[in-house]
Structure 1
Amino acid sequence: MSGRTHARACPERTCVGCRERAAKGEVLRTVMIEGACVPDPRGTLPGRGASVHPTLVCLDLAVRRRAFPRAFKVPGPLDTAELRRYLERTER
């Protein structure tokens, strides 16, 4: 018998802003639609996702580090205005 337990492991994601690992439910999934980063709170939008903590601090870090284009494997900067508006509404 192996040393593994039968309890299900909680999926983890790495925040592209602060680079810390967190449970999937603690980070916000974002996807790229037509050159813009958009929030995907339900996790149902198609395409490659990038996770970020739902705070403006982590969003600013991700933008400054150019993490979104790298995560989505696309050249150039991406528009994060819609993502910023979403976080400003939900962070209060």
Structure 2
Amino acid sequence: MEPVRTCVGCRARAPRSALLRVVARDGILVADEKAVLPGRGTWVHDTDECVTAAIRRRAFGRALRVSGDLDTQTFQDTHQRNG
């Protein structure tokens, strides 16, 4: 049975393979496509709607327990180029 995670954008539960893991590295939001980077991670559907909702609600910072500002612009730009 595959692990189930919750998307921080839409709050829907989905299999781990259907979501993208995201981590904070030096205050910058980074996509962890292979799900192997160290540290606390959070999960989001790889869609513009979910990513935008999570950024708008500041869900990434809360889920990753980052104090202070989190640079989401780089992640958002990369996601829009690849998506």
TM-based fold match above 0.5: yes
Per-residue deviation, residues 3-45 of structure 1 (Å, max 9, x unmatched): xxxxxx2111100011001110110000100101100000111
2:12 is matched with which residue: 20, 31, 36? 20
Aligned to 1:49: 41
Q: Using CA pairs under 8 Å that are at least 6 residues apart, name the structure with larger relative contact order, 1 or 2.
A: 2
Task: Among all aligned residue pairs of Structure 1 and Structure 2, give the percentage whose two residues are the same amino acid.
Answer: 47
* 1:16 alignment partner AA: V
RMSD of the alignment, in Å? 1.2
1:74 match: 66
Q: TM-score, normalised by structure 1?
A: 0.82
One-letter amino acid matched to 2:63:
A
- In structure 2, distance between residues paired with 1:34 and 1:76: 12
- Name the SS for the 1:69 alignment partner: helix
Superposition TM-score, scaled by structure 2 size:
0.90
- In 2, distance between residues paired with 1:86 and 1:67? 18
Greater C-alpha radius of gyration:
1
Report the structure, 1 or 2, having the larger strand content: 2
Runs (4+) off by over 3 Å: none
The match for 1:33 is 25
